[in-house]
Structure 1
Amino acid sequence: MTDFLLELRSEEIPARMQAKAREDLRWAFETEIRTEGALFQGKVRTYATPRRLVLIAEGLAEKTESDTKEFKGPKVDAPEAAIEGFLKKVGLSRGELFEKPDGKGVLTYYAQTTTPGRSTVDVLAAIIPRILRAFPWPKSMRWGAESRSTESLRWVRPLHGIVALFGEQVVPVSVAGVESGAATLGHRFHHPGAITIGSASDYVEKLRACHVIVDQDERAALIRDRAAALAAGAGLQLVEDEGLVAENAGLTEWPVPLLGRFDPAFLDVPPEVIQLTARVNQKYFVCRDGEGRLADAFVCTANIAASDGGAKIVDGNRKVLAARLSDARFFYETDLKVPLEQQAEKLGKIVFHEKLGTVADKVERVAQLARWLVEEGVILPGTEYRVEHAPHVQGSSGGRSDPILRTGEDLRSLAEQAYRAATLAKADLVTGMVGEFPELQGLMGGYYAATQGEPAAVAEAVRDHYKPVGQGDEVPTAPVTVAVSLADKLDSITQFFAADLRPSGSKDPFALRRSALGVIALILDNGLRFPLGQVASREVLDFFADRLKVQQREAGVRHDLIDAVFALGGEDDLVRLLARVRALQSFVGTEDGANLLAGYKRAANILKKEGILDRAPANAGAQDGDAPGDPGLLHAQEHAPAERHAPLSYTPEKDEAALIAALDSAEPAAAAAVAREDFEGAMAALATLRAPIDAFFDNVTVNDPDPAKRAARLALLARVRAAVHTVADFGRIEG
């Protein structure tokens, strides 16, 4: 077994493309080598530096295995022309054919050919050009005289060298005028001369001796550890940034972190601005002091070990950073001169979406909804209030009409703060700072609002109203912030759905799935008792149900149980819904729960076979293909709760009577428990049905020849189904 080395040396590969390029190279090599029948037993490693993409494959066989194939020909007594045609196809003479019966016992000519194994060097020489020409760079280019042809090689940057070694043997390859060999170059400044590589085994260390650390993970660890040590040596703490570590590792072949200082006067600019300026424009790390405040220090990563210890490099980087920070300070000070309220007037000239109007239109909708959410008591659960108005929201049924006396905290003030914050929340989109750094939207608005004298709650809401923006992001808890954030996300979802611009498949151009997850997080983390049906259509509620299943998957909540509760209809309070689902999950995991589920499904199947639909509650139980049943039986089922004490025309059997008695007790107990949101209690009430249902099915004939008994027993099963549906549609539960 022999190792193989492939180095593709080019001009600078963008850091952001290197990780995927390594994976693409590994995948392409393994696919091609297996397609060609070559064997290898070891692992494939890939590396990337700014100037080279490298693959090392361990344990390749010297040759591919020979390949023997058998071909079926014509029958032995077939016409001569058919036999001659077969001989021509397989390239054999008649004497080389053999006869044997085919699958039907007919004596037939067969041919057998053997392709001898190929040298792995020849296989590699064939697949390397294919890999290079089909390589999926996100962006690529042509160069030189050959670039006039569309058939010329496309590579991320001009390709300068190919090292291809199978053991110590050069694999002969020529691509776009670049011939393979055993020579490469070291570090651009420390060792620009040629280096002869002996084999894959000495490649990494030979490059290291020439100031090139080939392993990107090793470079990243060096940057991470040295930068932290430099900060600690200055009494500071490095602000960790793994993305920046990886980027600096992709920009250097011999990384040398260096600590520098900038003018502390720049610290008057918000720290996030300084950090983003240093990170985005210069790829610098920043530091905090002992009290957690941003310090006037940065760490840059040089690509050279300078003779002066990096003093000139640090000084040059300090000057460049100072120029960038001066620009940032100019944007900040200029923006502060214009009140946010005045900035917001410009939003009317910015189209939010051609079907949904301007950003100013969205702002007004969000402001109205945010105020309404507070006035409705959604944001402060348990607060009494008086409904004075409700905004028009697509799919909304409006607010409550019964006036309730407001007591306790003055919701009017809170509602007006929510309205004010919403009107200012998008104003920073037209500021110079956010124009330069879109990542700072919201954050800068918060700074400007606070500096311009807005109440703290308003400034905080402006700052944080985009949160949460992703999994694991902080979820706001301040009432005004929650109101604005919830309103902003709900408006986007309902408006885009109303405009028929909903997500489809993997496409979600307006990030509505992310917005829905944000709404769910805001509601659940803050315990908001908010019936989503007041502002959302049925279609939007179904969308939230799907997102809730995604959000709860990591918490171990079963998706079928969420479906089982949603299927009942009318349950759009996510806090109550999840409480019901969790109680249901605990219950179905018990023996009583599993047996009741089995009994329920048996009852439901009988009722479905008889065509007896579930009519109450709405949306419960009815499945595609259900047929209408006997009107008398339907009537008995629909009115079973009211008539369950009516005397039967016959004396019920012992186990039939026992189930009737159990239902008489369990039905009202479960309903009362659900009404007070004691879902564990509701499950406990339903659990009492388990034994009577089992006994009923074991000992009572449902389809009795007596029509009165049959009708009464089917109605009894309908009562069982209806009782269970006070908690969930058990028909949606798997198992």
Structure 2
Amino acid sequence: MPDLLLELLSEEIPARMQRRAAEDLKKLVTDALVERGFLYEGAKAFATPRRLALHVAGLPVRGEAVREERRGPRVGAPEAAVQGFLKGAGLTSLDQAQTITDPKKGEFYLAVIERPGRETLDVLAEILPGIIKGFPWPKSMRWGAASAQPGSLRWVRPLQSIVATFGPETENPEIVPFSVDGIAAGTTTRGHRFLAPEPFEVRRFDDYAQALERAQVILDADRRKDMILHDARDLAFASGLDLVEDEGLLEEVAGLVEKPVVLMGSFDERFLEIPAEAIRATIRANQKCFVLRKSGTEALAPAFLLVSNLVATDGGAAITAGNERVVRARLSDARFFWETDKATKLEARLPKLDSIVFHEKLGTQGERVGRIAALARDIAPLVGADPALAERAARLAKADLVTEMVGEFPELQGLMGRKYAALQGEPESVAAAIEEHYKPVGPSDRVPTDPVSIAVALADKLDTLVGFWSIDEKPTGSKDPFALRRAALGVIRAVIERSLRLSLVALMAPRFAASGAERSADLLAFFADRLKVYLRDQGARHDLIDAVFALPGQDDLLLVVRRVEALGAFLGTDDGRNLLAGYKRAANILRIEEKKDGRAYDAAPDAARATAGQAEERALAEALEAARQEASAAVAAEDFARAMRALSRLRAPVDAFFETVTVNADDPALRENRLRLLNALRAATREVADFSRIEG
């Protein structure tokens, strides 16, 4: 079957945009084809620094004819309805419609719409210009004289040429006939800007990929990554060194080159006095180069690997020398920052935080540090930390933000603070907390283990959450500019993975200026939502979390998780499933009868009346009282497994009750007592969870 080849050649596309742009191109084109009834066998998109390319395989030469029956309004319907039907169906009058009879509803108009199949080439010519003109670049530009015209093309960088061909493998494919802002689709492209600048012709994808390779362009970004990684490892090994692998940097440099050539440079060994993280940040951020370790150790070597986009005639000597000069200058700056920062203690830097605004409604970084320190001191005894050390660590935790090194490399915040704290003689746990209080940063990041680090990390995240909740700056939809979801998930992971017992409301409520209880409850609901996400990833059911959080006072996240786990295990048994079914039956009866009677049957059942009733009624009354007492005691002792076992004993009496007892008895007093008995079942289950929130 015929294939589509599309290439959009431009000036250099930023590396961070390439992979997303390739996927957008594939989605936009294939979605447009499928929407018009053109199915395909496969599609793959590619990106290099100068081009986006798309190959769609297995398209039909012509689309299938479409026959559609569209039912319209009743015969005799208002004129507006008739005209809307005609317009939607593409008819000019009712003479072009049919009349059908529905035995139950009468006569209706029916339009039979037949559309002949269209040539795929024509459809491609129709959809591609709009996709190119409306392409969703994060940032785009206009250029040239045409840029002054309304509606002129916007592209990430000036678009130079378009290749668009369609046809079968056995025949010469045709050019898709369209143009965009004077750039007509054709078969001419270019290779590497310097190594193969001359234009050449391409027809189909297989020829295209091979022709590009001959023109010194590796089309597939993943292949460029593999080449860079393989050559970097080999070059490091040949020099007796180990590559410090960096997936993010690898992805970026693969988007900067079309013909990757890995070269090794070096720098003066005296620069190794600088912290390794600072060296790596300097070389990575400024030169997009990889650092190396001495083989079998964690110590950095005075060498780096760069990725060139040229096969140089001198073997890359000039390119390497140029990069070495820049790296030397950058490392000189880093050493100056390091020596300057060491001369001033962290505590002496604290006044500078008073002049840095954290948020216009939440004050300065200095004010925030004061809040975090007070909160860390309160949390410390709850997590087994020394309150004085936790407060000290919190006081110094943000001081490195005003150092020279962190000012140049913000990604080193915390880490440099730890090093400066250790140099000035701070206790090890204080220094560690300065770095670790940011953790966990993401799902793959670890949770701190040192109690002081945990106290400061929790204080930092809770202050952030309370602060933004107090000014009503909450996440909305997919927008979360202050990373509040991540902060909440960090608190949840710390609490659960380190088995911490904390009352969130007790910590949060006093820190809200007004409406503490109301805002704490709202923030606790946010924690519940984040806990659902966390536990769902662990395999737990979201409805069980709802069922537990529906009970009052559920702000101890560790106990919530344990209760959810016990509830899940219980509902996985026959006793649990049957009791849930019995509960739902009782709840349905109560809802119906309470609505009908206009009253609630929430009083305790009359024990004497139950005793005088049927045997199953007496048995259920006795079982409910025993189960409620035992479950309540077990919950108080935080033995949720025993609480579930207590409820499991209700299965048999509940089943027997519904099999033999008529709830809506003729005797009003007997009926009321039996409804109260069903409410007692509802109350007994609420000792462990709100069963009304449980699905199934």
TM-score normalised by structure 1 residue count: 0.84
Within the candidate set 667, 690, 695, 1:729 is matched to: 690
Higher mean displacement: 490-499 or 550-559: 490-499
CA pair 109-268 structure 1, distance change in 2 beyond 3 A: closer
Q: 1:35: Cα distance to partner?
A: 5.1
| d(CA) in 2 for partners of 1:688, 1:299 | 69
| d(CA) in 2 for partners of 1:217, 1:231 | 21
Aligned residues: 665
Q: Residue 209 of structure 2 corresponds to which residue in structure 1?
A: 204
Matched, 1:719 2:689: no
State the Cα deviation string for residues 359-379 of structure 1 (Å, max 9, x = none): 1111111101111112xx311
Within the candidate set 505, 509, 514, 2:477 is matched to: 505
Q: Residue 366 of structure 1 corresponds to which residue in structure 2?
A: 372
CA pair 255-659 structure 1, distance change in 2 beyond 3 A: same
Q: 1:671: Cα distance to partner?
A: 2.2
Give the conservation status (yes or no) of the 8 Å contact 1:370–1:419: yes
CA RMSD between the two structures: 3.2
| d(CA) in 2 for partners of 1:324, 1:315 | 14
| d(CA) in 2 for partners of 1:493, 1:142 | 42
Matched, 1:345 2:351: yes
Q: 1:572: Cα distance to partner?
A: 1.6
Q: Residue 48 of structure 1 corresponds to which residue in structure 2?
A: 47
Matched, 1:680 2:641: yes
State the Cα deviation string for residues 298-324 of structure 1 (Å, max 9, x = none): 111111122333232222212211111
Kindly provide the amino acid, as one letter, of the partner of residue 441 in structure 1: Q
| d(CA) in 2 for partners of 1:236, 1:706 | 91
Q: 1:182: Cα distance to partner?
A: 2.0
Q: 1:635: Cα distance to partner?
A: 4.3
Matched, 1:5 2:9: no
Q: Residue 595 of structure 1 corresponds to which residue in structure 2?
A: 578
Q: Map 1:266-665; keep pairs closer than 5 Å.
A: 266-289=271-294, 290-374=296-380, 377-380=381-384, 414-536=386-508, 537-611=520-594, 629=599, 634-636=602-604, 647-648=608-609, 651-665=612-626
| d(CA) in 1 for partners of 2:174, 2:678 | 81
CA pair 670-318 structure 1, distance change in 2 beyond 3 A: same
Percent identity reads 53
* SS of equivalent to 1:295: strand
State the Cα deviation string for residues 101-134 of structure 1 (Å, max 9, x = none): 5659999999999766554334333333222211
Q: Map 1:106-185; keep pairs closer than 5 Å.
A: 118-167=118-167, 168-185=173-190
Within the candidate set 662, 671, 683, 1:701 is matched to: 662
Q: Residue 18 of structure 2 corresponds to which residue in structure 1?
A: 18
Q: Residue 235 of structure 1 corresponds to which residue in structure 2?
A: 240
| d(CA) in 2 for partners of 1:111, 1:610 | 51
Q: Residue 516 of structure 2 corresponds to which residue in structure 1?
A: none
Q: 1:528: Cα distance to partner?
A: 1.0
Q: Residue 245 of structure 1 corresponds to which residue in structure 2?
A: 250
* SS of equivalent to 2:441: coil
CA pair 144-364 structure 1, distance change in 2 beyond 3 A: same
Kindly provide the amino acid, as one letter, of the partner of residue 136 in structure 2: P
Matched, 1:690 2:651: yes
Kindly provide the amino acid, as one letter, of the partner of residue 219 in structure 2: V
Kindly provide the amino acid, as one letter, of the partner of residue 520 in structure 1: I
Q: 1:207: Cα distance to partner?
A: 1.1
Kindly provide the amino acid, as one letter, of the partner of residue 58 in structure 1: A
| d(CA) in 2 for partners of 1:90, 1:694 | 62
Q: Any gaps of 5 or more consecutive residues in structure 1?
A: 76-81, 381-410, 612-624
Give the conservation status (yes or no) of the 8 Å contact 2:217–2:258: yes
Kindly provide the amino acid, as one letter, of the partner of residue 223 in structure 2: E
Higher mean displacement: 432-441 or 192-201: 192-201
* SS of equivalent to 1:421: helix
Give the conservation status (yes or no) of the 8 Å contact 1:340–1:424: yes
State the Cα deviation string for residues 222-261 of structure 1 (Å, max 9, x = none): 1122112222222222222222111111111110112222
Give the conservation status (yes or no) of the 8 Å contact 2:244–2:290: yes
Kindly provide the amino acid, as one letter, of the partner of residue 418 in structure 2: G
CA pair 154-650 structure 1, distance change in 2 beyond 3 A: closer
* SS of equivalent to 1:257: strand
* SS of equivalent to 2:9: strand
Give the conservation status (yes or no) of the 8 Å contact 1:99–1:108: no
| d(CA) in 2 for partners of 1:437, 1:348 | 21
Give the conservation status (yes or no) of the 8 Å contact 1:160–1:178: yes
TM-score normalised by structure 2 residue count: 0.88
Q: 1:702: Cα distance to partner?
A: 3.1
Give the conservation status (yes or no) of the 8 Å contact 2:39–2:59: yes
Give the conservation status (yes or no) of the 8 Å contact 1:561–1:584: yes
Q: 1:680: Cα distance to partner?
A: 0.9
Q: Which of the two has higher C-alpha Rg?
A: 1
Give the conservation status (yes or no) of the 8 Å contact 2:346–2:399: yes
Q: 1:701: Cα distance to partner?
A: 3.0
State the Cα deviation string for residues 405-461 of structure 1 (Å, max 9, x = none): xxxxxx7xx211111111111111122222222212111111111112211111111
Higher mean displacement: 446-455 or 115-124: 115-124
| d(CA) in 2 for partners of 1:156, 1:340 | 44
| d(CA) in 1 for partners of 2:71, 2:429 | 83
CA pair 257-547 structure 1, distance change in 2 beyond 3 A: same
| d(CA) in 2 for partners of 1:70, 1:654 | 64
Q: 1:51: Cα distance to partner?
A: 1.2
Q: 1:29: Cα distance to partner?
A: 1.8
Q: 1:175: Cα distance to partner?
A: 2.5
* SS of equivalent to 2:218: coil
Q: 1:688: Cα distance to partner?
A: 1.0
